[in-house]
Amino acid sequence: KRQIDIGVDSKKVFLTGNMKFDHKIPDVNPEKKERLLKDLNLYPEDQIFIAGSTHSGEEEVILDVFQQLIQEHPRLVLILAPRHPERFQEVEKLVKGKNFISARRTQIGKNNPSFHPQVMLLDTIGELSQLYGIGDIIFVGGSLVNIGGHNILEPLAYKKPVIFGPYMQNFSEIAQTLEKSGAGILAQTGENLLIQAKKLLANKRYAQVLGKKGFQVIQKHQGATDRNMEMIKQFIQVREQKKRWQAKGVRNHQ
C-alpha cells in the first residue's frame, strides 16, 4: 500500500507473504527433550515457564507472577532469558532480591549436577530457541513494555502456547493473525498474564489445543521464501536476456 501511495504502478507490486513463517521446524523428539532436561538439572515432572527476550520492566512482572503461580504449582520452574547479555548481572540481582532458589544457566548442569533451581537465568547465547521445546508456558518479551515485541513464531514451531503483551508493533501482522486464529494469548497487564498462565497450567488440554493452532498458523502461511525466489529468478532471466540482446546489437528491448 505504501509503495502504491507514493506512485508505484500497482501491477508491479506483489504480496508474497512473510518469510518469518518459513523458519525451519525444529525436531522435538522425546529423547532430545529428555537430554535438555537432564542438562538443566530439571525433571520430567517439573512444569516450565519460559520468559524469553525480556526487557527492563518486564522481569519484575514475571517474577511477581511466578511467585503467585508456585503457590499452586510448586513444581514450576522459571527460565528467565533477558534479551541483552549486558543485563544479566542486573537481572540476577533482581532475582536474588526475591529470595528464589536460583542460578545462572552456566552454573548448573555439569558444573553443579545436583542443583535444582526455582529460577534459572539463561546467560547463554543461542540456546533460547531450543529451550522453548521443553516449556509448558511461553511468554515472549519486549511486549509488556513499549519495545515492539519479538518473534513469537519460534515457540509456536514447538506447538507451545504463547503469551505476549500489548506492544507488538514490530510483529503486528503476526500477532493479529494469531489472535484471530485463537492461537496466541494477548495479556494486557501483569495481572492478566497471571490469569492466563493459571489457565494454561491448570488445563493441559487447553494448552495443547492452543499450541496446535499456533503450529497450524505457521504451516498455513509458509511459502513466502519460495515465492520470492521465483520472482527473483524471473528478474535474473530478464536481465540475462537483455545482456544477450545487447551482445547481438539488439537495442531498445524492454
Tens of pLDDT along 147-198? 999 999 999 999 999 999 999 999 999 999 998 888 899 999 999 999 999 9
Residue 33 has pLDDT above 80, yes or no: yes
Average pLDDT, the chain: 92
Distance of CA 130 to the CA centre of its chain: 10
Beta bridge partners of 47: 76
Residue 243 has pLDDT above 60, yes or no: yes
Q: What percent of the chain has pLDDT over 70?
A: 97
Helix, strand, or coil here: 139? strand
Residue 251 has pLDDT above 70, yes or no: no
* pLDDT confidence of residue 59: 98
Element housing 48 (H / E) = strand 47-54
Distance CA(23)–CA(225), nearest Å, equals 10
Residue 70 has pLDDT above 90, yes or no: yes
Distance CA(155)–CA(134), nearest Å, equals 10
* pLDDT confidence of residue 109: 72
